[in-house]
Chains A and B, each alone.
Chain A
Amino acid sequence: MSALLDISKLSLAFRTEKGPARVLDMIDLAVKPGEIVGLVGESGCGKTTLARAILGTLPEGLTEIGSGHIRLDGVDMLRGGKAAESIRGRVVTFVPQDPFASFNPLFRIGTQIADLMRWKAPRPEGRRWGGHRRADEDAAIAMLDAVQLPQPRAILAKYPHELSGGQRQRVMIAMALLPQPQLIIADEPTTALDVTVQAQILGLLRRLAVERGVSVLFTTHDLGAAWEICDRVVVMYAGQTAEIAPREAFFANPRHPYTRMLLDSLPEPGRDPVGIPGGVPSPLTPPGGCRFNPRCPRVTEICRETRPALAEHEGGHLVACHHPVTADAEALYV
């Protein structure tokens, strides 16, 4: 099956007063139709930038594209202009990180949904205007019902501040689904919510996406959340792809030392969590070669000089490392 989203060798920098910040470095990523992909990494690893690049909403005039391309449904989202604008909200939709601030506080929920549908919902040919108001409202109510909001009609008449965080994020998911997209980009959709609500929202997002065959690219720094909903996990470190693997293989046999240390840093019964010494390098002065080399226990000379390519291991497991963790070399420290 061909990829819905195809990102290849994407390098990207932001202009800053201190020089270019190289936020993304040779990123490769593909999302197939109907697939749920988790993009995992620490804050500042470039996952939000990547999400914005796919949506085509990077700050104009501040972004330098070094190399590569992003194709979504065949459209170049980096240089798409009008075509990219048309794709946004129609082929690809968005669930934001902060459901509190992402609504306009002065308009009713119903108005904001109606405007989205007016411009982005699929229309039967030849009836672009008029006669849709009623159908739009019915569709909106059905969708609010699908995201398990009680009394959907009453919700349409409410202002954002009258809903709880979980309710607002459910509305956001409904809005992401209403245009019948092929891909939803969910940028840390549960970070701003209570822990008890997080699992509900993740489960809902997964169920609705699977039912409708919609792909989801889900960014998170929470490995537990990735385990909950993803088919495939992509690990990013400091703007580079470290490891891509199907969910089971990823959690059972992490290959990249960074991934391995990331998993070891999770608290687990019967074992103390182990932190990763050091910090994420600044994108202004990234280390040469593999950007993880200053913190890696397996570092050798080649890691500082040559950027490791993503190499395929068994079972669709892709790792960008000169010294991956394997069955023969299990110990992290060599």
Chain B
Amino acid sequence: MNWLSMVANRLIWFVPTLLGLLAIVFTLSRVVPIDPAFLAAGENASVEQVQKVRERFGFDKPLPVQFLNYVRDVAQGNFGVSMFTQQPIVNDLATRLPATLELTLVAVLIAALIGIPLGVLCGLHRNSWLDHVLRVVTVSGLAVASFWFAMQLQFLFSMKLGWLPLSGRMEGFPPEPVTGLMVVDALIAGDGEALASALRHMILPAVTLALPAAATVVRFTRNGVIGVINSPSVAYQTAMGFPRRVIIWKYVLRMALTATVTQLGLIFGILLAGAVVVETVFDWPGLGAYAVRSILQSDYNAVMGFTLCTGALFVFINLLVDMLQAAIDPRGAA
């Protein structure tokens, strides 16, 4: 019951949070010193033509009216039309979101698989050589510019060794799109060749993206373990002769992970921000690359659409994290 009321509470807050996000996105788009009508009308347009465009898009109306219109459109799933492709933004986002989602999910998976065991080992052997080495690595993992790291990986594994493709998401024919996640679609289609290609393309960008996230996971898991390992419950289980591995990998790990799970939202934010750079370097057809292109072209409907989309995604992920947190820790659900 507690858990349900917690979820209901968070769901109610979901709506005002999104409205706030809309207001910020809208305000930012109007503060930018670029006249969107001028851009849309084209370089050689006359003053009259620009005025027409302005009226067509409703830019001549007062700002509050424009905002209400905007909220209404978004509520109806209408994010406007790209000023350059003349395609509805929603379509663009819908084709690109799965690519980013796939990349991010794999990056989270890599970060968790690497970060959690290393974090536990560091926490258990605090101030050992392993802990010191990993502290240096994690700090640099957070500090290193991801585009630089991405290009090092490309240079080594694609250009020098030729093991992995340089960029892109797929070679040959992509499988029938069902989920939009290339790996899943290839599995559904039973297309081994497409699956191998999808995975090979995925490795370098996912690793680049996972590096700072893994560093964060290591640090939080380590601190979680250190906070728990000297607790009376561990002393009790040791005195009662529970096997060490059961104490560590079952009981201590769950306690340590409550801290890490809280950070998953933060980690997801790191990944979304990283996706902008990583997708551009690896020519990955996702939201990040789309955002960069839209910004460079001052396609402001597309920028607003992207910002809103990632913002909503971030809020949604944090909702999931809260629910997961409450499920892990029965005391917190109040």
A140 to B235, CA, bound (A): 22
**Least distance between A32 CB and chain B CB atoms (Å):** 22
Contact (Cβ within 8 A) B331 A161: yes
Instruction: Specify the chain A residue showing the minimal Cβ separation from B328.
Output: A106
A228 to B240, CA, bound (A): 26
Which of B233, B242, B330 contacts A103, CB < 8 Å?
A: B233
Contact (Cβ within 8 A) B240 A94: yes
B85 within 8 A of A: no
A226 within 8 A of B: no
B236 within 8 A of A: yes
B232 within 8 A of A: yes
Which of B232, B246, B254, B255 contacts A115, CB < 8 Å?
A: B246
Task: Write out the residue numbers on chain B whose beta carbons fall within 8 Å of the beta carbon of A101.
Answer: 231-233
Count chain A residues whose beta carbon lies closer than 8 angstroms to a beta carbon of B.
28
Which of A52, A86, A89, A105 contacts B242, CB < 8 Å?
A: A89
B243 within 8 A of A: yes
Known contacts A102-B232, A104-B251; A85/B330 CB under 8 A: no
Instruction: Specify the chain B residue showing the minimal Cβ separation from A54.
Output: B239
Task: Write out the residue numbers on chain B whose beta carbons fall within 8 Å of the beta carbon of A93.
Answer: 240
Contact with A along B222-241 (1 / 0, CB 8 A): 00000000011101111111
Known contacts A96-B236, A101-B231, A107-B251; A119/B330 CB under 8 A: no
B193 within 8 A of A: no
Q: Which of A70-105 contact B (CB under 8 A)?
A: 85-90, 93-94, 96, 98, 101-105
Task: Write out the residue numbers on chain B whose beta carbons fall within 8 Å of the beta carbon of A284.
Answer: none
Contact (Cβ within 8 A) A106 B330: yes
Which of B232, B241, B242 has the most CB atoms of chain A within a 10 A radius of its CB? Answer: B241
Which of B232, B233, B239, B251 contacts A57, CB < 8 Å?
A: B239
A161 to B334, CA, bound (A): 13
Count chain B residues whose beta carbon lies closer than 8 angstroms to a beta carbon of A.
22
Contact (Cβ within 8 A) A98 B239: no
Task: Write out the residue numbers on chain A whose beta carbons fall within 8 Å of the beta carbon of B258.
Answer: 106
For the complex, would chain B's binding face be called helix, strand, loop or mixed by DSSP majority? helix
Known contacts A106-B328, A106-B330; A89/B232 CB under 8 A: no
Contact (Cβ within 8 A) A88 B241: yes
Task: Write out the residue numbers on chain B whose beta carbons fall within 8 Å of the beta carbon of A89.
Answer: 239-242
Contact (Cβ within 8 A) A120 B240: yes
A89 to B243, CA, bound (A): 10
Task: Write out the residue numbers on chain A whose beta carbons fall within 8 Å of the beta carbon of B231.
Answer: 101
Contact (Cβ within 8 A) A119 B246: yes
A33 to B328, CA, bound (A): 43
A52 to B233, CA, bound (A): 15
Known contacts A98-B232, A101-B233, A159-B330; A106/B243 CB under 8 A: no
Q: Which of B280-334 contact A (CB under 8 A)?
A: 328-331
Instruction: Specify the chain B residue showing the minimal Cβ separation from A172.
Output: B236
**Least distance between A206 CB and chain B CB atoms (Å):** 21
A116 within 8 A of B: yes
**Least distance between A286 CB and chain B CB atoms (Å):** 26
A192 to B235, CA, bound (A): 17
Contact (Cβ within 8 A) A106 B329: yes
A55 to B231, CA, bound (A): 17
Known contacts A159-B331, A161-B330; A102/B242 CB under 8 A: no
Q: Which of B234-269 contact A (CB under 8 A)?
A: 235-243, 246, 250-251, 254-255, 258
A147 to B238, CA, bound (A): 23
Instruction: Specify the chain A residue showing the minimal Cβ separation from B233.
Output: A104
A106 to B233, CA, bound (A): 11
Task: Write out the residue numbers on chain A whose beta carbons fall within 8 Å of the beta carbon of B329.
Answer: 105-106
A90 to B251, CA, bound (A): 20
Task: Write out the residue numbers on chain A whose beta carbons fall within 8 Å of the beta carbon of B331.
Answer: 105, 159, 161
A52 to B238, CA, bound (A): 11
Known contacts A119-B242, A159-B331; A102/B254 CB under 8 A: no
Contact with A along B110-146 (1 / 0, CB 8 A): 0000000000000000000000000000000000000
Contact (Cβ within 8 A) B330 A94: no
Task: Write out the residue numbers on chain A whose beta carbons fall within 8 Å of the beta carbon of B246.
Answer: 115, 119
Contact (Cβ within 8 A) A88 B254: no
Known contacts A106-B258, A159-B330; A94/B239 CB under 8 A: yes
Contact (Cβ within 8 A) B241 A85: yes
A175 within 8 A of B: yes
Contact (Cβ within 8 A) A116 B242: yes
Instruction: Specify the chain B residue showing the minimal Cβ separation from A161.
Output: B331
Q: Which of B192-229 contact A (CB under 8 A)?
A: none
A-B pairs with the 10 shortest C-beta distances? A89-B241, A88-B241, A101-B232, A102-B236, A94-B239, A89-B240, A104-B233, A159-B330, A55-B239, A104-B251
17 further contact pairs, Cβ within 8 A, besides A88-B240, A89-B241, A175-B240: A57-B239, A85-B241, A88-B239, A89-B242, A93-B240, A94-B236, A98-B232, A102-B235, A104-B251, A106-B251, A106-B255, A106-B329, A116-B240, A120-B240, A120-B241, A159-B331, A161-B330
Could you list 30 examples of A-B contacts with CB < 8 Å?
A52-B239, A55-B239, A57-B235, A57-B239, A86-B241, A87-B241, A88-B238, A88-B241, A89-B239, A89-B240, A89-B242, A90-B241, A94-B240, A96-B235, A96-B236, A98-B232, A101-B231, A101-B232, A101-B233, A102-B236, A104-B251, A105-B233, A105-B330, A106-B254, A106-B328, A106-B330, A119-B241, A119-B246, A120-B242, A185-B239
